[in-house]
Structure 1
Amino acid sequence: MSPTMLPAAPPAPPLRWRRSFPGGLEEARNVRRFVGCLLTGCPFLDDVLLAADELVVNALRHTKSGQVGGAFTVEIVQDAGRVAVSVADQGGPGEPAALEAGELAESGRGLRTISLTAASWGWHGNGEGRTVTAVFAAERAA
């Protein structure tokens, strides 16, 4: 059989990593290291790191994950030129929203920034737990 007659190789399965962290603000640095080591050479690593940091800080500030004994989980999925970063928290009273922050506001820009840099983002869950995900791709969705 000649090389041109070989069947095409199946696509590689996605790479998936998941790690849980205790609910302290100092863990944001550990998350950035975790993600940075996994995605060395990724062309949009800076955007993924920013999103991971924002999602973690939001989980710690706005959900039960930031309370004593809290925890959160970070998942990274890399597949065919795309990277998804997800943070699963222990739930809270509000819903994640990408709002315009006031000019002098000291916070409130995180999800808005993610919405402008990611190909897509979204969340699912409720007051008992939710997951927020941002997807990055070499080609952004229109």
Structure 2
Amino acid sequence: MSLTIPVLPAPATAQRWRRAFPGEPVQARAARRFTAMLLDGCPLLDEVLLTVDELVVNALRHTKSGQPGGTFTVEIARWDGTVAVSVTDQGAPSEPAVTDAADDAESGRGLRTVSLLAAGWGWFGNDRSRTVAALFGTAFGEAA
């Protein structure tokens, strides 16, 4: 288990949304639309959308969520200029990690991208369920 994101409990006044999606590739677009609708007007929307896309695609490609009958859940929390996004999948034996992909590689840069866009990111879970999350916002010196 690993957790590299700062532990910041969202206050009771935080806005929270959660939605489960079928584990199908077309649902990555639905997850982006869900996020965009909720965070309309957020200055960091592009970064958050790219992060949600990367986390969803990773869940579909690398976990049981992408297998027939699989699901994943996207959760968004927003408070005081801070946005937290997380994707919970159905787990995998491997651990999410930032890798150095070759310059000509077609994949392998997702979590590196997330680590560069977000103020912090991390994961927790096991081979049955795992959550990968990222934080953005003024709590970290960024406008949200």
Q: Hey, which bits of structure 1, 4+ residues long, moved more than 2 A?
A: none
What is the DSSP-based 3-state SS (H/G/I as helix, E as strand, rest coil) of the residue aligned with 1:29? helix
Aligned-CA RMSD value: 1.2
CA drift at 1:43: 0.5
CA drift at 1:98: 1.1
Name the counterpart of 1:102.
102
User: Where do 5+ consecutive residues of structure 1 fail to align?
Assistant: 1-10
The one-letter amino acid paired with 1:74 is: V
CA drift at 1:116: 0.5
| Structure 2 residue 51 is matched with structure 1 residue 87 | no
CA drift at 1:12: 7.3
Give the TM-score normalised by structure 1.
0.89
Q: Which stretch of structure 1 is more off in the superposition, 118-127 or 93-102?
A: 93-102
Distance between the aligned counterparts of 2:100 and 2:14, measured in 1?
Answer: 34
Cα distance per residue 1:51-88 (max 9 Å; x no partner): 00000000000000000000000000001111011000
Name the counterpart of 1:6.
none
Name the counterpart of 1:16.
16
What is the DSSP-based 3-state SS (H/G/I as helix, E as strand, rest coil) of the residue aligned with 1:18? strand
**1:10-89 equivalences in 2 (<5 Å):** 13-89=13-89
Larger radius of gyration: 1
Give the TM-score normalised by structure 2.
0.87
User: Where do 5+ consecutive residues of structure 2 fail to align?
Assistant: 1-10
Distance between the aligned counterparts of 2:78 and 2:86, measured in 1?
Answer: 12
Q: Percent same amino acid at aligned positions?
A: 64
| Alignment size in residue pairs | 130
CA drift at 1:93: 1.7
**Greater RCO, CA 8 A, separation 6+:** 2
Name the counterpart of 2:115.
115
Distance between the aligned counterparts of 1:114 and 1:32, measured in 2?
Answer: 15
Distance between the aligned counterparts of 1:115 and 1:99, measured in 2?
Answer: 11
